[in-house]
Amino acid sequence: MTDPARPLVRTVAETVAATTAGTLTARAAVDESLARIARLDADLNAMSVVLAERARADADALDAARTAGEPAGPLHGVPLVIKEEVDVEGAVTTFGGDANSTPAAADAELVRRLRAAGAVVVGKTTMPEFGAFPYTESVSRGYTRNPWDRSRTPGGSSGGTAVAVATGMVPAGIGGDGGGSIRIPSACCGLFGLKPQRGRVTTAPHPHLWWALGTAGPLTRTVFDSALVYDAIRGNVPGDLYTAGETGSFVEAARREPGRLRIGWSTKAVSLGVRPDPVHVRAVRDTARLLTDLGHDVREVDPRYPDPTTAFIPQFFAGIRTEADGMEHFARLERRTRQSYRLGSWVTPRVRDWALRQTEKVSAKADRVFQDADVLLTPAIAHRPPPVGILDGRGTVRSSLASMPAIAYAALWNVAGNPAASLPCGLADDGLPVAVQLVGPTDGEPVLLSLAAQVEAARPWPLVAPE
Protein backbone atom coordinates (compact mmCIF):
# COMPACT_ATOMS: atom_id res chain seq x y z
CA MET A 1 0.00 0.00 0.00
CA THR A 2 1.13 3.54 -0.72
CA ASP A 3 2.99 5.47 1.98
CA PRO A 4 0.26 7.67 3.56
CA ALA A 5 2.66 10.60 3.53
CA ARG A 6 2.63 10.44 -0.29
CA PRO A 7 -1.04 9.80 -1.14
CA LEU A 8 -0.86 11.31 -4.61
CA VAL A 9 1.49 8.87 -6.27
CA ARG A 10 -0.39 5.59 -6.16
CA THR A 11 0.15 3.03 -8.86
CA VAL A 12 -2.80 1.57 -10.75
CA ALA A 13 -2.75 -1.52 -8.54
CA GLU A 14 -2.58 0.53 -5.34
CA THR A 15 -5.43 2.76 -6.45
CA VAL A 16 -7.67 -0.21 -7.25
CA ALA A 17 -6.79 -1.88 -3.96
CA ALA A 18 -7.77 1.26 -2.06
CA THR A 19 -10.99 2.00 -3.96
CA THR A 20 -12.26 -1.58 -3.81
CA ALA A 21 -11.41 -1.85 -0.10
CA GLY A 22 -13.34 1.32 0.60
CA THR A 23 -10.37 3.26 2.01
CA LEU A 24 -10.41 5.64 -0.97
CA THR A 25 -13.31 6.87 -3.04
CA ALA A 26 -13.08 7.29 -6.80
CA ARG A 27 -13.89 10.97 -6.28
CA ALA A 28 -10.98 11.40 -3.88
CA ALA A 29 -8.60 9.67 -6.30
CA VAL A 30 -9.74 11.95 -9.12
CA ASP A 31 -9.53 15.08 -6.96
CA GLU A 32 -5.98 14.16 -5.97
CA SER A 33 -5.07 13.69 -9.62
CA LEU A 34 -6.62 17.00 -10.67
CA ALA A 35 -4.86 18.83 -7.83
CA ARG A 36 -1.52 17.37 -8.84
CA ILE A 37 -2.10 18.36 -12.48
CA ALA A 38 -2.94 21.90 -11.39
CA ARG A 39 0.18 22.09 -9.26
CA LEU A 40 2.72 20.53 -11.62
CA ASP A 41 1.72 20.97 -15.23
CA ALA A 42 2.29 24.68 -15.74
CA ASP A 43 6.00 24.25 -16.53
CA LEU A 44 5.77 20.71 -17.95
CA ASN A 45 2.99 21.07 -20.53
CA ALA A 46 1.83 17.47 -20.40
CA MET A 47 -1.88 18.21 -20.57
CA SER A 48 -3.60 19.61 -23.63
CA VAL A 49 -7.02 19.67 -21.96
CA VAL A 50 -8.22 18.82 -18.46
CA LEU A 51 -11.73 17.34 -18.28
CA ALA A 52 -12.31 18.07 -14.62
CA GLU A 53 -16.09 18.43 -14.60
CA ARG A 54 -16.75 15.18 -16.49
CA ALA A 55 -14.10 13.35 -14.45
CA ARG A 56 -15.67 14.35 -11.13
CA ALA A 57 -19.13 13.39 -12.36
CA ASP A 58 -17.87 10.00 -13.55
CA ALA A 59 -16.12 9.41 -10.23
CA ASP A 60 -19.26 10.30 -8.29
CA ALA A 61 -21.24 7.84 -10.42
CA LEU A 62 -18.72 5.09 -9.66
CA ASP A 63 -18.96 5.80 -5.95
CA ALA A 64 -22.76 5.75 -6.07
CA ALA A 65 -22.73 2.44 -7.91
CA ARG A 66 -20.33 0.99 -5.36
CA THR A 67 -22.54 2.16 -2.49
CA ALA A 68 -25.48 0.48 -4.20
CA GLY A 69 -23.60 -2.80 -4.14
CA GLU A 70 -22.49 -3.02 -7.76
CA PRO A 71 -19.18 -4.82 -8.30
CA ALA A 72 -16.04 -2.79 -8.92
CA GLY A 73 -14.27 -3.06 -12.25
CA PRO A 74 -10.59 -4.00 -12.57
CA LEU A 75 -9.62 -0.30 -12.89
CA HIS A 76 -12.15 1.07 -10.42
CA GLY A 77 -11.51 4.74 -9.68
CA VAL A 78 -8.17 4.94 -11.54
CA PRO A 79 -7.58 8.41 -13.07
CA LEU A 80 -6.14 8.12 -16.58
CA VAL A 81 -5.09 10.42 -19.41
CA ILE A 82 -5.50 9.83 -23.14
CA LYS A 83 -3.21 10.89 -25.99
CA GLU A 84 -4.71 13.49 -28.31
CA GLU A 85 -5.02 11.12 -31.28
CA VAL A 86 -7.63 8.99 -29.48
CA ASP A 87 -11.28 10.05 -29.40
CA VAL A 88 -12.76 11.06 -26.06
CA GLU A 89 -16.43 12.01 -26.12
CA GLY A 90 -16.94 15.76 -25.81
CA ALA A 91 -13.29 16.67 -26.47
CA VAL A 92 -11.76 17.69 -29.78
CA THR A 93 -9.43 15.05 -31.21
CA THR A 94 -6.67 17.48 -32.13
CA PHE A 95 -3.91 15.06 -33.18
CA GLY A 96 -1.61 17.63 -31.56
CA GLY A 97 -2.60 20.63 -33.70
CA ASP A 98 -5.40 23.03 -34.51
CA ALA A 99 -6.91 21.51 -37.65
CA ASN A 100 -9.95 19.99 -35.90
CA SER A 101 -12.53 21.99 -33.98
CA THR A 102 -15.55 19.74 -33.42
CA PRO A 103 -15.67 17.61 -30.25
CA ALA A 104 -15.79 13.85 -30.73
CA ALA A 105 -19.33 12.49 -30.60
CA ALA A 106 -18.29 9.23 -28.94
CA ASP A 107 -15.37 7.56 -27.19
CA ALA A 108 -12.94 5.43 -29.12
CA GLU A 109 -13.52 1.77 -28.33
CA LEU A 110 -10.46 1.51 -26.09
CA VAL A 111 -11.67 4.52 -24.07
CA ARG A 112 -15.10 2.94 -23.77
CA ARG A 113 -13.41 -0.20 -22.44
CA LEU A 114 -11.40 1.81 -19.92
CA ARG A 115 -14.56 3.46 -18.60
CA ALA A 116 -16.34 0.09 -18.47
CA ALA A 117 -13.46 -1.19 -16.33
CA GLY A 118 -13.96 1.70 -13.90
CA ALA A 119 -11.24 4.10 -15.03
CA VAL A 120 -11.87 7.84 -15.09
CA VAL A 121 -10.52 9.99 -17.91
CA VAL A 122 -9.19 13.24 -16.41
CA GLY A 123 -7.79 14.77 -19.58
CA LYS A 124 -5.91 14.49 -22.85
CA THR A 125 -2.20 14.86 -23.42
CA THR A 126 0.16 16.74 -25.69
CA MET A 127 1.78 15.22 -28.77
CA PRO A 128 3.56 16.51 -31.88
CA GLU A 129 1.13 16.92 -34.75
CA PHE A 130 0.06 13.44 -35.97
CA GLY A 131 2.88 11.96 -33.87
CA ALA A 132 5.12 12.34 -36.88
CA PHE A 133 8.34 12.83 -34.90
CA PRO A 134 9.60 11.43 -31.57
CA TYR A 135 9.81 14.76 -29.73
CA THR A 136 6.75 16.36 -28.15
CA GLU A 137 6.90 19.82 -29.68
CA SER A 138 4.31 21.66 -31.74
CA VAL A 139 3.42 25.14 -32.92
CA SER A 140 0.07 25.15 -31.12
CA ARG A 141 1.13 23.45 -27.86
CA GLY A 142 4.77 24.45 -27.53
CA TYR A 143 7.35 22.28 -25.77
CA THR A 144 6.54 19.45 -23.40
CA ARG A 145 9.40 19.09 -20.91
CA ASN A 146 11.08 16.15 -19.27
CA PRO A 147 10.31 16.16 -15.52
CA TRP A 148 13.79 14.86 -14.69
CA ASP A 149 15.39 17.84 -16.46
CA ARG A 150 13.08 20.52 -17.80
CA SER A 151 15.62 21.62 -20.37
CA ARG A 152 15.31 18.21 -22.06
CA THR A 153 12.66 16.52 -24.17
CA PRO A 154 10.49 13.73 -22.75
CA GLY A 155 10.60 12.09 -26.16
CA GLY A 156 7.48 11.37 -28.15
CA SER A 157 5.18 11.15 -29.67
CA SER A 158 3.35 10.10 -26.48
CA GLY A 159 5.40 12.64 -24.52
CA GLY A 160 2.51 14.31 -22.71
CA THR A 161 1.23 10.97 -21.47
CA ALA A 162 4.74 10.00 -20.33
CA VAL A 163 5.19 13.21 -18.33
CA ALA A 164 1.77 12.92 -16.71
CA VAL A 165 2.52 9.38 -15.55
CA ALA A 166 6.16 10.00 -14.57
CA THR A 167 5.16 12.88 -12.29
CA GLY A 168 2.28 11.01 -10.66
CA MET A 169 -0.41 13.24 -12.13
CA VAL A 170 -2.07 9.93 -13.01
CA PRO A 171 -1.13 6.29 -12.37
CA ALA A 172 -1.26 5.45 -16.09
CA GLY A 173 -2.05 6.93 -19.47
CA ILE A 174 -2.74 5.84 -23.02
CA GLY A 175 -0.23 6.46 -25.79
CA GLY A 176 0.26 5.23 -29.32
CA ASP A 177 3.28 3.68 -31.03
CA GLY A 178 3.84 3.91 -34.79
CA GLY A 179 7.63 4.05 -34.71
CA GLY A 180 8.56 3.93 -31.04
CA SER A 181 6.12 6.45 -29.62
CA ILE A 182 5.31 4.48 -26.46
CA ARG A 183 8.84 3.17 -25.89
CA ILE A 184 10.81 6.35 -26.63
CA PRO A 185 9.05 8.62 -24.07
CA SER A 186 9.01 5.75 -21.59
CA ALA A 187 12.78 5.48 -21.97
CA CYS A 188 13.23 9.24 -21.59
CA CYS A 189 10.96 9.51 -18.53
CA GLY A 190 11.68 6.31 -16.58
CA LEU A 191 8.49 4.36 -17.31
CA PHE A 192 7.56 0.89 -18.43
CA GLY A 193 6.14 1.10 -21.94
CA LEU A 194 5.08 -1.99 -23.87
CA LYS A 195 4.22 -1.72 -27.55
CA PRO A 196 1.91 -4.70 -28.00
CA GLN A 197 1.69 -7.10 -30.89
CA ARG A 198 0.18 -5.51 -33.99
CA GLY A 199 -3.59 -5.86 -33.75
CA ARG A 200 -3.63 -6.55 -30.01
CA VAL A 201 -5.65 -3.40 -29.21
CA THR A 202 -8.50 -2.24 -31.40
CA THR A 203 -8.04 1.08 -33.23
CA ALA A 204 -11.81 1.57 -33.64
CA PRO A 205 -13.45 3.75 -34.82
CA HIS A 206 -10.53 3.72 -37.26
CA PRO A 207 -9.62 0.47 -39.05
CA HIS A 208 -5.90 1.05 -38.48
CA LEU A 209 -3.31 3.45 -37.03
CA TRP A 210 -0.79 4.30 -39.74
CA TRP A 211 -1.68 1.05 -41.51
CA ALA A 212 0.56 -1.79 -40.24
CA LEU A 213 2.78 0.42 -38.07
CA GLY A 214 0.68 1.71 -35.19
CA THR A 215 -0.97 0.42 -32.07
CA ALA A 216 -2.18 1.95 -28.82
CA GLY A 217 -1.33 1.03 -25.25
CA PRO A 218 -0.54 2.26 -21.75
CA LEU A 219 2.51 3.92 -20.24
CA THR A 220 2.86 3.01 -16.57
CA ARG A 221 5.26 3.16 -13.65
CA THR A 222 5.22 -0.61 -13.05
CA VAL A 223 5.03 -3.74 -15.16
CA PHE A 224 1.98 -5.03 -13.31
CA ASP A 225 0.10 -1.79 -13.96
CA SER A 226 0.71 -2.20 -17.68
CA ALA A 227 -0.74 -5.71 -17.54
CA LEU A 228 -3.81 -4.49 -15.63
CA VAL A 229 -4.59 -1.85 -18.24
CA TYR A 230 -3.92 -4.14 -21.19
CA ASP A 231 -6.27 -6.81 -19.89
CA ALA A 232 -8.99 -4.15 -19.80
CA ILE A 233 -8.48 -2.82 -23.34
CA ARG A 234 -7.11 -5.61 -25.54
CA GLY A 235 -9.18 -7.38 -28.16
CA ASN A 236 -10.73 -6.53 -31.49
CA VAL A 237 -13.99 -5.44 -33.08
CA PRO A 238 -15.33 -6.02 -36.59
CA GLY A 239 -13.62 -3.66 -39.02
CA ASP A 240 -10.15 -3.78 -37.44
CA LEU A 241 -7.58 -4.21 -40.20
CA TYR A 242 -5.29 -6.30 -37.97
CA THR A 243 -5.86 -8.83 -35.21
CA ALA A 244 -3.31 -10.48 -32.94
CA GLY A 245 -3.08 -14.11 -31.90
CA GLU A 246 -4.51 -15.52 -28.71
CA THR A 247 -2.65 -15.15 -25.41
CA GLY A 248 -3.59 -15.73 -21.82
CA SER A 249 -4.12 -13.05 -19.20
CA PHE A 250 -1.40 -10.40 -19.11
CA VAL A 251 -1.96 -9.99 -15.37
CA GLU A 252 -1.26 -13.67 -14.80
CA ALA A 253 1.84 -13.39 -16.98
CA ALA A 254 3.17 -10.47 -14.92
CA ARG A 255 2.66 -12.48 -11.73
CA ARG A 256 4.49 -15.64 -12.75
CA GLU A 257 8.16 -16.46 -12.99
CA PRO A 258 9.40 -16.53 -16.59
CA GLY A 259 11.39 -19.73 -16.24
CA ARG A 260 14.84 -20.06 -17.79
CA LEU A 261 14.89 -18.11 -21.06
CA ARG A 262 17.34 -17.83 -23.94
CA ILE A 263 18.13 -14.14 -24.13
CA GLY A 264 20.15 -12.67 -26.96
CA TRP A 265 21.59 -9.19 -26.57
CA SER A 266 22.98 -6.72 -29.07
CA THR A 267 23.85 -3.03 -29.12
CA LYS A 268 23.94 -2.93 -32.93
CA ALA A 269 21.52 -0.29 -34.24
CA VAL A 270 19.05 -1.09 -36.99
CA SER A 271 19.62 2.34 -38.56
CA LEU A 272 22.95 2.56 -40.36
CA GLY A 273 25.29 5.30 -39.14
CA VAL A 274 23.71 5.52 -35.67
CA ARG A 275 25.93 4.81 -32.68
CA PRO A 276 24.46 4.26 -29.23
CA ASP A 277 25.55 6.48 -26.38
CA PRO A 278 27.96 4.64 -24.03
CA VAL A 279 25.36 5.02 -21.26
CA HIS A 280 22.98 2.80 -23.22
CA VAL A 281 25.66 0.28 -24.09
CA ARG A 282 26.49 -0.07 -20.39
CA ALA A 283 22.79 -0.44 -19.56
CA VAL A 284 22.46 -3.36 -21.99
CA ARG A 285 25.60 -5.06 -20.68
CA ASP A 286 24.57 -4.53 -17.05
CA THR A 287 21.11 -5.93 -17.77
CA ALA A 288 22.64 -8.93 -19.54
CA ARG A 289 24.73 -9.65 -16.43
CA LEU A 290 21.68 -9.30 -14.20
CA LEU A 291 19.70 -11.69 -16.39
CA THR A 292 22.57 -14.17 -16.21
CA ASP A 293 22.53 -13.90 -12.42
CA LEU A 294 18.77 -14.56 -12.53
CA GLY A 295 19.47 -17.88 -14.21
CA HIS A 296 18.84 -17.15 -17.88
CA ASP A 297 20.94 -18.31 -20.82
CA VAL A 298 22.28 -14.94 -22.02
CA ARG A 299 24.60 -14.41 -24.95
CA GLU A 300 25.52 -11.72 -27.45
CA VAL A 301 23.93 -12.25 -30.87
CA ASP A 302 23.90 -10.70 -34.32
CA PRO A 303 20.18 -10.03 -34.97
CA ARG A 304 20.80 -9.78 -38.74
CA TYR A 305 18.33 -6.92 -38.90
CA PRO A 306 16.51 -6.46 -42.19
CA ASP A 307 16.25 -2.92 -43.59
CA PRO A 308 12.71 -1.70 -42.80
CA THR A 309 12.99 1.52 -44.84
CA THR A 310 10.98 0.51 -47.89
CA ALA A 311 8.14 -0.72 -45.70
CA PHE A 312 8.26 2.09 -43.14
CA ILE A 313 8.55 5.28 -45.19
CA PRO A 314 5.52 4.75 -47.47
CA GLN A 315 3.35 3.91 -44.47
CA PHE A 316 4.71 6.95 -42.59
CA PHE A 317 3.60 9.25 -45.39
CA ALA A 318 0.36 7.33 -45.99
CA GLY A 319 -0.48 7.65 -42.29
CA ILE A 320 0.08 11.41 -42.28
CA ARG A 321 -1.89 11.90 -45.48
CA THR A 322 -4.79 9.77 -44.26
CA GLU A 323 -5.04 11.70 -40.99
CA ALA A 324 -4.58 15.07 -42.70
CA ASP A 325 -7.35 14.28 -45.17
CA GLY A 326 -9.68 13.74 -42.22
CA MET A 327 -9.04 17.15 -40.66
CA GLU A 328 -11.71 19.84 -40.71
CA HIS A 329 -9.30 22.71 -41.42
CA PHE A 330 -6.41 21.55 -43.59
CA ALA A 331 -4.97 25.09 -43.81
CA ARG A 332 -4.43 25.10 -40.04
CA LEU A 333 -1.98 22.21 -40.16
CA GLU A 334 1.58 23.09 -39.24
CA ARG A 335 3.88 24.08 -42.07
CA ARG A 336 6.05 21.00 -41.55
CA THR A 337 2.97 18.74 -41.64
CA ARG A 338 1.78 20.28 -44.89
CA GLN A 339 5.28 19.79 -46.27
CA SER A 340 5.18 16.13 -45.25
CA TYR A 341 1.80 15.82 -46.93
CA ARG A 342 3.20 17.16 -50.19
CA LEU A 343 6.35 15.05 -49.98
CA GLY A 344 4.20 11.97 -49.55
CA SER A 345 2.12 12.52 -52.67
CA TRP A 346 4.00 9.68 -54.40
CA VAL A 347 2.50 7.19 -51.95
CA THR A 348 -0.51 6.14 -53.99
CA PRO A 349 -2.71 3.26 -52.83
CA ARG A 350 -0.69 1.00 -55.10
CA VAL A 351 2.60 2.08 -53.47
CA ARG A 352 1.08 1.73 -50.00
CA ASP A 353 -0.08 -1.81 -50.75
CA TRP A 354 3.39 -2.65 -52.08
CA ALA A 355 4.84 -1.36 -48.79
CA LEU A 356 2.44 -3.58 -46.87
CA ARG A 357 3.74 -6.59 -48.80
CA GLN A 358 7.27 -5.48 -47.92
CA THR A 359 6.15 -5.38 -44.30
CA GLU A 360 5.42 -9.11 -44.41
CA LYS A 361 8.90 -9.79 -45.79
CA VAL A 362 10.58 -7.62 -43.14
CA SER A 363 8.61 -9.36 -40.41
CA ALA A 364 9.74 -12.79 -41.58
CA LYS A 365 13.39 -11.71 -41.65
CA ALA A 366 13.22 -9.93 -38.29
CA ASP A 367 11.75 -13.03 -36.66
CA ARG A 368 14.85 -15.07 -37.51
CA VAL A 369 16.48 -13.91 -34.27
CA PHE A 370 13.83 -15.80 -32.30
CA GLN A 371 14.90 -19.12 -33.74
CA ASP A 372 17.74 -19.10 -31.22
CA ALA A 373 16.44 -16.69 -28.56
CA ASP A 374 13.21 -16.24 -26.63
CA VAL A 375 13.82 -12.53 -26.04
CA LEU A 376 16.07 -9.92 -27.66
CA LEU A 377 17.72 -7.28 -25.43
CA THR A 378 18.84 -3.97 -27.01
CA PRO A 379 19.08 -0.29 -26.16
CA ALA A 380 15.71 1.45 -26.20
CA ILE A 381 17.08 4.64 -27.79
CA ALA A 382 20.53 5.56 -29.09
CA HIS A 383 20.94 9.07 -27.68
CA ARG A 384 20.40 10.76 -24.36
CA PRO A 385 17.22 12.91 -24.33
CA PRO A 386 18.19 16.04 -26.30
CA PRO A 387 17.34 19.63 -25.35
CA VAL A 388 13.83 20.85 -26.11
CA GLY A 389 13.51 22.67 -29.39
CA ILE A 390 15.27 20.02 -31.44
CA LEU A 391 12.69 20.38 -34.22
CA ASP A 392 12.73 24.19 -34.33
CA GLY A 393 13.16 25.49 -37.86
CA ARG A 394 13.44 22.01 -39.35
CA GLY A 395 11.38 20.73 -42.23
CA THR A 396 10.38 17.13 -42.83
CA VAL A 397 13.76 15.86 -44.00
CA ARG A 398 15.88 17.49 -41.31
CA SER A 399 13.35 16.51 -38.63
CA SER A 400 13.54 12.92 -39.85
CA LEU A 401 17.33 12.96 -39.61
CA ALA A 402 17.13 14.40 -36.09
CA SER A 403 14.76 11.57 -35.18
CA MET A 404 17.02 8.73 -36.24
CA PRO A 405 18.77 8.23 -32.87
CA ALA A 406 15.39 7.99 -31.15
CA ILE A 407 13.88 5.40 -33.48
CA ALA A 408 17.08 3.48 -34.32
CA TYR A 409 16.11 0.43 -32.23
CA ALA A 410 12.34 0.90 -32.12
CA ALA A 411 10.83 1.40 -35.57
CA LEU A 412 11.79 -2.01 -36.97
CA TRP A 413 9.42 -3.68 -34.53
CA ASN A 414 6.52 -1.54 -35.72
CA VAL A 415 7.16 -2.84 -39.22
CA ALA A 416 7.61 -6.41 -38.01
CA GLY A 417 4.67 -6.15 -35.61
CA ASN A 418 6.40 -7.84 -32.66
CA PRO A 419 5.78 -6.77 -29.06
CA ALA A 420 8.61 -4.67 -27.62
CA ALA A 421 9.00 -2.90 -24.29
CA SER A 422 11.10 -0.13 -22.81
CA LEU A 423 12.28 -1.21 -19.36
CA PRO A 424 13.78 1.34 -16.93
CA CYS A 425 17.29 0.80 -15.56
CA GLY A 426 17.51 3.70 -13.11
CA LEU A 427 19.26 7.04 -13.56
CA ALA A 428 22.49 7.96 -15.32
CA ASP A 429 25.06 10.47 -14.11
CA ASP A 430 23.26 13.18 -16.11
CA GLY A 431 20.22 12.73 -13.85
CA LEU A 432 18.04 11.36 -16.64
CA PRO A 433 16.51 7.89 -16.83
CA VAL A 434 18.16 5.00 -18.66
CA ALA A 435 16.29 2.14 -20.31
CA VAL A 436 16.75 -1.00 -22.35
CA GLN A 437 14.40 -2.60 -24.85
CA LEU A 438 13.06 -6.15 -24.61
CA VAL A 439 11.65 -7.58 -27.84
CA GLY A 440 9.57 -10.72 -28.00
CA PRO A 441 8.48 -13.13 -30.71
CA THR A 442 5.11 -12.80 -32.39
CA ASP A 443 2.35 -12.68 -29.75
CA GLY A 444 5.08 -12.76 -27.10
CA GLU A 445 3.74 -10.15 -24.66
CA PRO A 446 3.34 -12.71 -21.84
CA VAL A 447 7.03 -13.66 -21.86
CA LEU A 448 8.04 -9.97 -21.95
CA LEU A 449 5.77 -9.14 -19.01
CA SER A 450 7.04 -12.08 -16.95
CA LEU A 451 10.66 -11.24 -17.64
CA ALA A 452 10.21 -7.49 -17.13
CA ALA A 453 8.49 -8.09 -13.80
CA GLN A 454 11.38 -10.30 -12.70
CA VAL A 455 13.91 -7.60 -13.60
CA GLU A 456 11.79 -4.93 -11.93
CA ALA A 457 11.79 -6.91 -8.69
CA ALA A 458 15.57 -7.45 -8.85
CA ARG A 459 16.38 -3.88 -9.88
CA PRO A 460 13.76 -1.41 -8.62
CA TRP A 461 13.82 2.05 -10.17
CA PRO A 462 12.53 5.46 -9.05
CA LEU A 463 8.79 5.46 -9.65
CA VAL A 464 8.05 9.19 -9.57
CA ALA A 465 10.06 12.05 -11.03
CA PRO A 466 11.16 14.78 -8.62
CA GLU A 467 9.02 17.89 -8.36
Q: By C-alpha distance, which of 111, 112, 138 is closest to 45?
A: 138
How many C-beta atoms surround the C-beta of residue 67 within 10 A?
A: 10
Would residue 450 show up in a list of annotated catalytic residues for this protein?
Answer: no
DSSP-assigned beta bridge partners for residue 426: 434
CB 207 within 8 A of CB 199: no
Q: Give the span between the Cα atoms of 355 and 319, in whole angstroms.
A: 12
CA distances from 10 to 140, 169, 226, 378 (A): 32, 10, 14, 30
First to last CA, the chain: 22
pLDDT of residue 8: 61
Query: For the purposes of burial, counting CB atoms within 10 Å of the CB of 351, is it exposed (0-12), middle (13-18) or buried (19 or more)?
Result: middle
**Topology of domain 12-458, per CATH?**
Amidase signature (AS) enzymes (3.90.1300)
Catalytic one of 83, 186, 266, 403:
83
H or E element, residue 233: helix 223-233
State how far the Cα of 181 lies from the Cα of 449, in Å rounded to an integer. Answer: 19
CA distance 296 to 278: 24
d(CA 362, CA 412) in angstroms, rounded, equals: 8
Q: Residue 382: count other Cβ atoms within 10 Å of its Cβ.
A: 22
Q: What distance in Å separates the CA atoms of residue 406 and residue 385, rounded to the nearest whole number?
A: 9
Give yes or no for a contact between 156 and 135, defined as CB atoms under 8 angstroms apart.
yes
- The pTM for the full model equals 0.96
Is residue 435 within 8 Å of residue 425, measured between CB atoms? yes
- Cβ contact 124:83 at 8 Å: yes
Q: Is 181 a catalytic residue?
A: yes
Catalytic residue among 33, 48, 138, 157, which? 157
Rounded to 5 degrees, φ, ψ at 25 are -85, 160
Are 379 and 437 in contact by the 8 Å Cβ rule? The answer is yes
Query: Pairing mode, if any, of strands 375-379 and 262-265?
Result: parallel
Q: How far apart are CA 356 and CA 242, in angstroms?
A: 12
Residues in the chain: 467
Q: Which of 138, 158, 181, 271 is catalytic?
A: 181
Q: How far is C-alpha 27 from the chain's CA centre?
A: 27
Look up residue 211 and give its DSSP letter: T
**What is the model's pLDDT at position 127?**
97
DSSP per-residue letters across 126-155:
--SGGG-SSS-EETTTEE--BTTBTTB---
* pLDDT tens track, the chain, 467 positions: 334 334 468 999 999 999 999 999 999 999 999 999 999 999 999 999 999 999 999 999 999 999 999 999 999 999 999 999 999 999 999 999 999 999 999 999 999 999 999 999 999 999 999 999 999 999 999 999 999 999 999 999 999 999 999 999 999 999 999 999 999 999 999 999 999 999 999 999 999 999 999 999 999 999 999 999 999 999 999 999 999 999 999 999 999 999 999 999 999 999 888 999 999 999 999 999 999 999 999 999 999 999 999 999 999 999 999 999 999 999 999 999 999 999 999 999 999 999 999 999 999 999 999 999 999 999 999 999 999 999 999 999 999 999 999 999 999 999 999 999 999 999 999 999 999 999 999 999 999 999 999 999 999 998 899 88
| 316 and 322 Cβ atoms separated by less than 8 Å | no
Q: What angle do CA 178, 182, 185 make, to 5 degrees?
A: 125
Please indicate whether residue 157 is annotated as part of the active site.
yes
